[in-house]
Amino acid sequence: MAATHVNPTRMELTRLKKKLVTALRGHKLLKDKRDELMRQFLILVRENKSLREKVEAGIRSADQNFVLARAAMPDEEVNVALMAPKQEVYLEMDERNVMSVEVPVFHYKTRTPDADDIYSYGFAFTSGDLDAAVKSLADLLPDMLKLAEVEKSCQLMSMEIEKTRRRVNALEHVMIPELQENIRYITMKLDENERSTQIRLMKVKDMMLEEAHHYKKKQNEAFAG
Amino acid sequence: MYKIAVLGDRDSIYGFAALGLDIYPVAKGAEAASELHHLAENGYAVIYVTESVADSIAQDIAQYADRPFPAVIPIPGVSGNTGSGMANVKKFVEQAVGSDIIFNGES
């Protein structure tokens, strides 16, 4: 028996059948969407993992270089050297559509045309370790931006996959079985009504014939005679 | 035209200034949170946050999770690393797949 009350009418039956067709179609589409999203997500998340490992290792070694640089120079001099940056990085952002998920794509631009133009100090009063430290970070920048792009994409896609999966499951395990159950209920109810009408008609016909021809009476007489 | 910011304790992030990223030295907690919101409103598409700071303002960062930008990306700092950056990636996998199939229980 259906959980909700449905009117066993032909109109309701047509409506439910239409709804079932839509639900089945939606279910198939969403399932395809989920599968494709999942495939792309897995590719992306593997990239995310390896990029993150690379960036984290890179930042650690750059930090070590900075510690070395600070060991070789007084703090004030390090601060002065890095106080006025020469380089600036700007981002251009495009959006890429992956299965209706808008994920960002970053393109970065540096203010000076030479991307290696990163030393904001003269080399005379600073230690070589500082150069190495700054250089190691600069080499890491493209990977860091790629990481930002990939990680954001992963984040957005994982949310979308979760949402889609919920929808697919709701359709598959709740909506579609319920519709089918209701359709079955209405069909059976209608069939039942039809049978009962038919039986009633047959009965009425019997009674009318009896009235007109008195079959029973004649039969009894035939037996008696 | 968007900009890139780095948020964290000063020692961990001052090197990024040389590359032309904007650095914002902050302590943990409320100060970091308000700085994050301020940056997010002001044309920063990527905000790198050191892990220790990121952990202290996880709720504020979560607000930006479903927007295409800013991308708030945890990075390791000089000290106080918690591995939350990797844990995040792991979380994405768990959210999407239902169980962790990339890391297989490591880290």
**SS3 per residue for chain A:** CCCCCCCCCHHHHHHHHHHHHHHHHHHHHHHHHHHHHHHHHHHHHHHHHHHHHHHHHHHHHHHHHHHHHHHHCCHHHHHHHHHCCCCCEEEEEEEEEECCEEEEEEEEEECCCCCCCCCCCCCCCCCHHHHHHHHHHHHHHHHHHHHHHHHHHHHHHHHHHHHHHHHHHHHHHHHHHHHHHHHHHHHHHHHHHHHHHHHHHHHHHHHHHHHHHCHHHHHHHHHHC
Instruction: Residue A59: list chain B partners with CB under 8 A.
Output: 75-76
Whether A37 is covered by a domain: the verdict is yes
> What is the pLDDT averaged over residues A161-174?
93
What one-character DSSP code corresponds to residue B2? B
pLDDT at A1 exceeding the cut of 60: no
Q: What is the pTM of this model?
A: 0.81
- Report the percentage of chain A scoring pLDDT > 90: 36
> A197 lies in a domain?
no
In a domain, A102, yes or no: yes
Whether A198 is in a domain gets the answer no
What is the interface pTM, i.e. ipTM, of the complex? Answer: 0.86
Is A214 inside a domain boundary?
A: no
Q: For residues B5 and B24, what is the distance between their CA atoms, to the nearest angstrom?
A: 7
All domains in chain B, ordered by first residue: 3-78 (3.40.50.10580)
Determine the distance in angstroms separating the CA of B66 from the nearest CA of chain A, rounded to an integer. Answer: 6
Q: State the pLDDT at residue A115.
A: 61
Q: What CATH code is carried by the domain that includes residue A138? A: 1.10.287.3240
What is the pLDDT averaged over residues A162-187?
93
Using alpha carbons, list the distances in angstroms from residue B12 to A19, A63, A218, B8, B66: 58, 7, 113, 7, 28
Q: Check CB contact of B89 with chain A, cutoff 8 Å.
A: yes
Q: How far apart are CA B64 and CA A37, in angstroms?
A: 21
pLDDT at B38: 85
Domain assignment present for A199: no
Of A63, A91, A137, the CB nearest to B45: A91
Average pLDDT of span B12-40: 82
Chain centroid to CA A109:
32
| pLDDT tier, B106 (very low <50, low <70, confident <90, very high otherwise) | low
Mean pLDDT, chain A, integer: 85
Q: Which two tokens stand for residue B84?
A: 């939350």
The predicted-structure confidence for B28-43, as pLDDT tens digits, reads as follows: 778 888 888 888 888 8
Question: Which of 4-43 (B) contact A at CB < 8 A?
Answer: 4, 12, 14-21
Higher-confidence residue: A14 or A139?
A: A14
Q: Do the domain assignments include residue A206?
A: no
**What pLDDT shows up at residue A16?**
93
Mean pLDDT in residue range A124-135: 74
The yes-or-no verdict on residue A71 having pLDDT over 50 is yes
Q: Do A154 and B15 touch (CB under 8 A)?
A: no
Q: Is residue A68 part of a domain?
A: yes
Expressed as residue numbers, the domain containing A90 is 10-180
Q: What is the pLDDT of residue B25?
A: 84
Judged by average pLDDT, the poorest of A101-110, A117-126, B77-86, B87-96 is: A117-126
The mean pLDDT of A161-178, rounded to a whole number, is 93
| Residue B95, helix vs strand vs coil | helix
Do the Cβ atoms of B20 and A110 come within 8 Å?
yes
Mean pLDDT in residue range B8-24:
80
Cβ contacts of residue A133 below 8 Å, gap of 6+?
A62, A65, A66, A68, A69, B15
Give the residue-averaged pLDDT of A7-12. Answer: 90
Predicted confidence (pLDDT) at residue A218 exceeds the cutoff of 90: no
Q: How many domains, chain A?
A: 1
* Chain segment A12-70, per-residue pLDDT in tens: 999 999 999 999 999 999 999 999 999 999 999 899 889 988 888 888 888 888 888 77
- Using CA atoms, how far apart are residues A38 and A209, in angstroms rounded to an integer? 72
- Smallest CA–CA distance, residue B26 to chain A, in Å, is 17
User: How far is Cα A104 from Cα A151, in angstroms, rounded to an integer?
Assistant: 10
Question: Which of B47, B63, B92, B102 would best serve as a mutation to test chain A binding (most A beta carbons within 10 A)?
Answer: B92
